Structure 1
Amino acid sequence: MKTVAEIIRAKPQAAVYSVSPDTTVLDAMKMMAEKGVGALVVLDDKGRLAGIVSERDYARKVALLERPSFNVPISEIMTADVLTVSPRDTSQECMQLMTDRHLRHLPVLAEGELIGLLSIGDLVKHTIADQASLIQQLEQYIRGE
């Protein structure tokens, strides 16, 4: 079972995109579209994790409520009580957490410092690769190789 650290190291694009709490919702949505991501971490003025904002937050807290997005700060719609994982956690632990809590993104903290962002897509990709490797090993074993 791979660890979060191994998954993050293997990501072709490991950049973590962030905004500040006073960034407007519109600017954050533009950044998500430009970067092709579904969530941004929100960092305070000292670079510490203050929250996370996702397309789901936008849909539920802005679009469905017909709020304007050009002047609403991210701090009003972000999830401030963020669940995080450590580099030592396993992919299975992360998948269980994401499934139980209906999450798509998990910030990765090492000693309180943000070092990455893990998505459900990252975990699925690595699970598929692990299963393919296991199948190949079993086939080789069956053939006596």
Structure 2
Amino acid sequence: MKTVEQLLQAKGHKVISIAPEKSVFDAMQSMAEYNTGALLVMRDDELVGILTERDFSRKSYLLNKPVKDIQVKEIMTRHVAYVGLNDTNENCMALITELRIRHLPVIDKDKVIGILSIGDLVKDVISEHQFVIEQLERYIYDTPEI
């Protein structure tokens, strides 16, 4: 299994974020623009929460006001699970499964340096399995008959 550091090397370190005082409308526009299901909520360089499509769909209607009048901090998830560079894909998958979440920020030395989605993790698992299959096929077909 690859480490988070290896996964980020392949994926990149791009982090899409939003300030907690911004409107949920602005957040949804950013999600649409960047084709992502989550934004990290940052105050300067500090991670203060995460806003997901699930947060929007489950919490915003409870406030009974227009999305342009709802601030991100009103519906964001404040307690954010995260991983470090030395965690493995297996650790990430276990955490995502246990917590029923879809995104994991990557933090190194108290700084957000990336984010992994369940899609990133599944893509890597499929790639690993495909590699094993190819190696087994090569072994089977390259083995001389006796």
- Equivalent residue for 1:18? 17
Question: In structure 2, how many angstroms separate the alpha carbons of the residues matched to 1:125 and 1:63?
Answer: 33
Unaligned runs of 5+ in 2: none
Question: In structure 2, how many angstroms separate the alpha carbons of the residues matched to 1:33 and 1:83?
Answer: 23
- Equivalent residue for 1:93? 91
Question: In structure 2, how many angstroms separate the alpha carbons of the residues matched to 1:63 and 1:31?
Answer: 19
Give the CA RMSD over aligned residues: 1.4
The share of aligned pairs that are identical, in percent, is: 46
Question: In structure 2, how many angstroms separate the alpha carbons of the residues matched to 1:41 and 1:18?
Answer: 5
**TM-score normalised by structure 1 residue count:** 0.93
Equivalent residues of 2:47, 2:112 under 8 A apart:
yes
Q: Which structure carries more helix by proportion?
A: 2
> Which has more radius of gyration?
2
Give the CA deviation at 1:56. 0.4
- Equivalent residue for 2:50? 52
| Equivalent residue letter for 1:82 | V
Q: Within 5 A, what are the aligned runs for 1:1-145?
A: 1-11=1-11, 14-45=13-44, 47-63=45-61, 66-144=64-142
Give the CA deviation at 1:91. 0.3
Deviations 1:105-142, CA, capped at 9 Å, x for gaps: 00000011000000000001111100000001111122
| Equivalent residue letter for 1:19 | I
Question: In structure 1, how many angstroms separate the alpha carbons of the residues matched to 2:56 and 2:85?
Answer: 28
Q: How many residues align?
A: 143
Give the CA deviation at 1:65. 5.6
Give the CA deviation at 1:64. 6.0
Distance 1:19 1:82, change over 3 A: same
For residue 100 of structure 1, give the secondary structure of its aligned residue in structure 2: helix
Deviations 1:21-48, CA, capped at 9 Å, x for gaps: 1011000001100111100001113x11
